[in-house]
Amino acid sequence: MQHPDLGFGREVSGADPSAGGVWQKRFYRIGHSGAAGHAPANTLKSLALALEIGVDIVEFDVRACLDGLVLIHDATLEAMPSPYGARAVRECTVAELQALPLESGERIPTLAEALELLRGRVAFNLDLKEAGCETRVVEALREMGALELALLSSTIPTSLAAVRAASPTIKIGLSYPEDRGNASKRALLKPVVDGAVRLMRQALPRRVLGMMAQPGRMPSCSITAWSRRRWWK
């Protein structure tokens, strides 16, 4: 499959992802769950294909299980071929999760495996699917020397507060308008999100644009609008 050069980010052409240069681009090519349109989501095959396509940022989902951190979207195994029924991911071991058969012979990877594949090659957006694992995720990134390349996003404001407590410099993002707790309507937004608000909708609601226009409301923020448009066939 051939994927054309779309020209995104040419304002900072040749930016070195290992130095965090990708964050200076005006447009990002973001691979959702790796390259989920072409390979099983959140698998090493999907992440590797995203690299082959040439994305700027690879997004993937992270959850805590009983004895580690893994890449998986759902909170339970209900939608998967599993002998454990609807058991919660947090109640499973890494070994149990990796034994589950996925499409194309893939398996659920650990966060360490994903970072080993991606570090130094691309920036990445870790979507924290639930609260409670923030410190472990930050420590994993720190051990890999990958803090500068990471953006941690969540729909949970208190989860982002825990990330900020674990690292004063790592990039964080609130998924809006899906944030829980109405953080965007309260003063909680500024200290929790630290100006890094991620808009995961194709269009910005008028009330969001109005909020952004208020002086001092969102200092030093970066806005990313996710699009569903297919750029190639």
Prediction pTM value: 0.75
Residues in the chain: 233
Q: What confidence score (pLDDT) does residue 197 get?
A: 45
Q: What confidence score (pLDDT) does residue 224 get?
A: 66
Query: CB-side exposure of 136: number of CA atoms within 13 Å?
Result: 17
Give tens-digit pLDDT for 66-76: 999 999 999 99
Contact 20, 123 (CB under 8 A): yes
Task: Compute how many other C-beta atoms are within 10 angstroms of the C-beta atom of residue 215.
Answer: 6
Give tens-digit pLDDT for 149-194: 999 999 888 899 999 999 999 999 887 655 454 554 555 554 544 4
Q: What is the DSSP letter of 168?
A: S
